[in-house]
Amino acid sequence: MLPQEVIRKKRNGGALEAAEIAGFVQGLTDGSISEGQVAAFAMAVWFSGMDGGECVALTRAMRDSGETLDWSGLGRPVVDKHSTGGVGDNVSLMLAPIVAACGAAVPMISGRGLGHTGGTLDKLESIPGYDIQPPPELFRQVVDEVGCAVIGQTANLAPADKRLYAIRDVTATVDSVPLITASILSKKLAAGLQSLVLDVKLGNGSFMAEPEESELLARSLVDVANGAGVRTSALITDMNEPLADAAGNALEIENCLAYLRGERAGTRLDSVVMALAAEMLVAAGLNADRAEAEAMARRALTSGAAMERFALMVHRLGGPADFVERPAAYLERAPAVVPVPAGRDGYLAACETRELGMAVIALGGGRTRPEDRIDHRVGLSELQPLGTRVQRGEPIGFVHAADRRQGELMADRIATHFTIADAAPGPRPVILSTVT
């Protein structure tokens, strides 16, 4: 198998055989295929796409590029969730302990930032000592004892995806349905799940800006995963504004703790967390009724049980034992915090959500190259939701920056990404549809 021939065939719109895909993935895994060839392959797939058979073959080859986990004997249903990515989407941080507190096991294999979206692992690395790649035996122990563990790919878990993921991030090939499908599902299938719930984002802050695109991705993910034997459904949710009121690594950890303390009830973030929790509990067989499953999840939150699980997970994976009690002692703060002034009186009617994510990267909170180091302190906070009445000069959010000059420049830039109108925008649901 000559990699350049596989690239040429896909570039010209041909359908690849399973053996060709497997051979290319093997070269991707063992390093015999160069970074340039991987990037060319990703771009060829981006332009030419893949049919269902190719997508299944790519997913299976990437799943089988390393070890697979076996949770038999755990005594709890094994379930996970994955989001296709957005801005201010820190749902996994709260969802895993909530569902664990309800009796499921959540061995969550998460990723780093991709394109304009923040990564769960980058957020967790804001916590001093937190080990995103623990030894396999510790990962298993934490899932068994706590009920959840949010970690990154080990070297032996879908290693082909790990390399491809990093190259996609810096070659503008993130928003390809076949590549997204294979990337997400190769990790999830290798993790030994019994059921999976997907959060497919739709809107100007997602990789899928049009309804047809998000439906296509959701259907691809659901069909491939169910075909591989994992019970899977997907929620399509709105990403036309940041989901949380913060974007940036340490800031989203602070937001997570506020949520687990019960301080974000009734928000768009709360709606998504509870809907996904209910879907996971039903998929896991812990409750047959979605309304009752959501009530179960709400009790886990309000009772403090979910916060206890989060605190224990952090400590068992190397973080401070008193992290949730004293987060300010451990999370780094940006030297400069600058308000973003409203340009006029009126209502926040729209925002360019993707540009807000790109602003976090420009501040240093994301990567433009795989080897870049992240500044966990920087980002945006106290972002006001669309529909908020504002007055000229009033803060619609705050920029957290490495220095005052950078913060002021970014605050001016952020202000241009919000539209302020005379009338309030109409209501917009956050849960748009379900794909089963």
| Residues classed as catalytic | 80-83, 120, 168, 183, 187-188
Q: In 91-230, which ranges are E strands?
A: 106-110, 148-152, 195-202
| Neighbour count for residue 391 (Cβ, 10 Å) | 10
Measured between alpha carbons, how far is 299 from 292 in angstroms, rounded to an integer?
Answer: 11
Q: What is the DSSP letter of 434?
A: E
Helix (H, G, I), strand (E, B) or coil at 287: coil
Neighbours of 23 (CB within 10 A): 18
Backbone angles phi, psi at 377, to 5 degrees: -80, -30
Query: Shortest CA distance to 240 belongs to which of 399, 318, 350, 166?
Result: 350
Nearest-5° angle of CA 55, CA 58, CA 60?
A: 105
Distance CA 293, CA 299 (A): 10
CB 225 within 8 A of CB 236: no
Q: Are strands 389-390 and 346-351 parallel, antiparallel or unpaired?
A: antiparallel
Residues facing 272 on adjacent strands = none
Phi, psi of 155, deg, nearest 5: -60, -25
